[in-house]
């Protein structure tokens, strides 16, 4: 990658989507894929695929396409997911447990190494892999001991900012927030929000357009 | 809206984000908001806010900004979320339960009216609001009886396509898919996928860039 070039977030998102499709193609026994096919699978246009990959080098062979396995390796390297990342989850309700047991996360190197709650009913509860739900008070020590690099917040909205502050105090500067609220964080901390209601809105909009057509 | 104009999906996504911020602004007691402030809250540029809203008409007053409550009403109308939508969820593990109990979904008019599973351990289990987990075999009848318009899939990947087929057979043509797999559907069916691992990839990429800087 040319060092001076800023890569659009949409390109990074699509690289991750390409990677998912390449995994499925490999599973289905494909060894090569054209940009046309990859684009079709991702519901975008082929020029976009070539442009996105073009930021990082020349991966395909003209008229032949991309090597399905090789391109996966390259994309993993670009995205820095060719290594493991340690996750800590706070808020062990249904959403927290769903994330903890999400098989694809750990398969892709996102390892949940610790889980926390503030409820006495949950603290101490055994989890898979010999883990136990820890008291949120132990967050700071555990961040250091287990080298937690990414914080996942699955608490109610009212608790989210407080938990984010604890993560930042422990020098965890990347947060994935599932709580339906805004997290205030300085520029040095990365926050990505997952809001199901936004995607639901998109679906409702499209469905209404279709019904009105 | 000019009927002939195709609205980009990114605009629809941002409208939904504006709506979230307007709700929070209202909660904080604001009556007016400038495009600059709204843009800053959404981490985009003010011209984008004006362009997105411009697709649908003139909502602001030059030099004054937008009425916080009025713009919410307008956006709800544009997104067709000024009415309720009936949801049916299939797969009542942690993720299914998390969606079912997601307070903000129902507050925004996305009502979970039925929940299904195929496990004998779960079928018949009572849920909040007098609901019970139903046998997946009852999906088709329940779609008709309760007018389910949006299907939510929270099953393991291996079951997702089968469930999608059942929804489509019941004429549910909008699906929100949480299962980490691709759903094959004809053009008449809308499918939106939520893949946490894509967002995790984005976070890992940015974190690595920051660590390398």
- Give first-to-last CA distance, chain B, whole Å: 45
- Give first-to-last CA distance, chain A, whole Å: 45
Cβ of A16 and B198 within 8 Å?
yes
Overall size of chain A counted in residues: 213
For residue A13, give how far its alpha carbon lies from the nearest alpha carbon of chain B (Å): 6
Specify the 3-state DSSP secondary structure of B20.
helix
Minimal Cβ distance to B201: which of A79, A98, A197? A79
Residue A63 DSSP symbol: T
Task: Give A167's pLDDT tier (boundaries 50, 70, 90).
Answer: very high
Cβ of A15 and B201 within 8 Å?
yes
Specify the 3-state DSSP secondary structure of B28.
coil
Q: What are A23-52's pLDDT values in tens digits?
A: 989 989 999 999 999 999 888 899 999 999
pTM confidence score: 0.85
CA-CA distance, B164 to A176, in Å (whole number)?
28
Average pLDDT over residues A98-107: 88
Q: Do the Cβ atoms of A178 and A194 come closer than 8 Å?
A: yes
Domains B9-79 and B85-197 share a fold: no
User: Cα A16 to chain center, whole Å?
Assistant: 9
Average pLDDT, chain B: 92
Q: Does A147 touch chain B (CB under 8 A)?
A: no
CA-CA distance, A210 to A70, in Å (whole number)?
40
B62 pLDDT above the threshold of 60? yes
CA-CA distance, B182 to B177, in Å (whole number)?
9
Which of B62 and A121 is assigned the larger pLDDT? Answer: A121
Tell me how far CA of residue B110 lies from CA of A112, B24, B105, in angstroms: 31, 19, 5
Residue A25 sits at φ, ψ, to 5 deg, of -65, -45
Q: Do the Cβ atoms of B93 and B153 come closer than 8 Å?
A: no
- ipTM attached to this prediction: 0.88
Q: What percent of chain B has pLDDT over 90?
A: 71
Question: A132 - beta bridge partners?
Answer: A126
Residue A1 burial by Cβ neighbours in a 10 Å radius (0-12, 13-18, 19+): exposed
Specify the 3-state DSSP secondary structure of A176.
strand
Q: What are A125-165's pLDDT values in tens digits?
A: 999 888 999 999 999 999 999 999 999 999 998 999 999 99
A1 pLDDT above the threshold of 60? no
Cβ of A207 and B173 within 8 Å?
yes
CA-CA distance, B106 to B140, in Å (whole number)?
23
Task: Tally Cβ neighbours within 10 Å of residue A116.
Answer: 24
Cβ of B85 and A204 within 8 Å?
yes
Residue A39 burial by Cβ neighbours in a 10 Å radius (0-12, 13-18, 19+): buried
The CATH superfamily label for domain B85-197 reads NAD(P)-binding Rossmann-like Domain (3.40.50.720)
Q: What are B151-207's pLDDT values in tens digits?
A: 999 999 899 999 999 999 999 999 999 998 889 999 899 999 888 888 899 999 999
B12 pLDDT above the threshold of 90? yes
Task: Tally Cβ neighbours within 10 Å of residue B112.
Answer: 23
Q: Which long-range contacts (CB under 8 A, 24 or more apart) does B24-33 make?
A: B24/A181, B24/A182, B25/B68, B26/B68, B26/B69, B26/B72, B30/B68, B31/B67, B31/B68, B31/B69, B32/B64, B32/B65, B32/B66, B32/B67, B32/B68, B33/B65, B33/B66, B33/B68, B33/B71
Residue A176: list chain B partners with CB under 8 A: 196, 199-200, 203
Give pLDDT, residue B168. 97
The architecture that CATH gives domain B9-79 is: Orthogonal Bundle (1.10)
Q: Does A15 touch chain B (CB under 8 A)?
A: yes
Tell me the domain boundaries of chain A: 9-79, 85-197
């Amino acid at each position: 990658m040319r060092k001076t070039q800023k890569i659009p977030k949409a390109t990074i998102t699509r690289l991750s989507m390409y990677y998912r499709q390449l995994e499925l193609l490999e599973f289905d026994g494909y060894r090569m894929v054209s940009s046309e096919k990859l684009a079709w699978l991702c519901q975008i246009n082929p020029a976009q695929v070539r442009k996105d990959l073009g930021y990082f080098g020349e991966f395909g062979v003209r008229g032949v396409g991309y090597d399905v396995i090789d391109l996966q390796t390259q994309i993993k390297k670009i995205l820095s997911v060719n290594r493991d990342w340690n996750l800590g989850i706070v808020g062990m309700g249904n959403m927290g447990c769903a994330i903890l047991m999400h098989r694809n996360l750990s398969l892709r190197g996102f390892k949940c190494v610790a889980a926390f709650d503030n409820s006495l009913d949950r603290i101490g509860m055994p989890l898979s892999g010999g883990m136990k739900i820890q008291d949120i008070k132990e967050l700071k020590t555990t961040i250091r001991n287990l080298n937690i690099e990414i914080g996942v917040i699955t608490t109610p909205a009212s608790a989210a900012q407080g938990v984010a502050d604890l993560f930042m105090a422990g020098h965890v500067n990347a947060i994935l927030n599932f709580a339906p609220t805004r997290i205030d964080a300085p520029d040095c901390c990365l926050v990505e929000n997952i809001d199901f209601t936004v995607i639901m809105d998109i679906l409702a909009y499209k469905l209404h357009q279709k019904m009105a057509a």
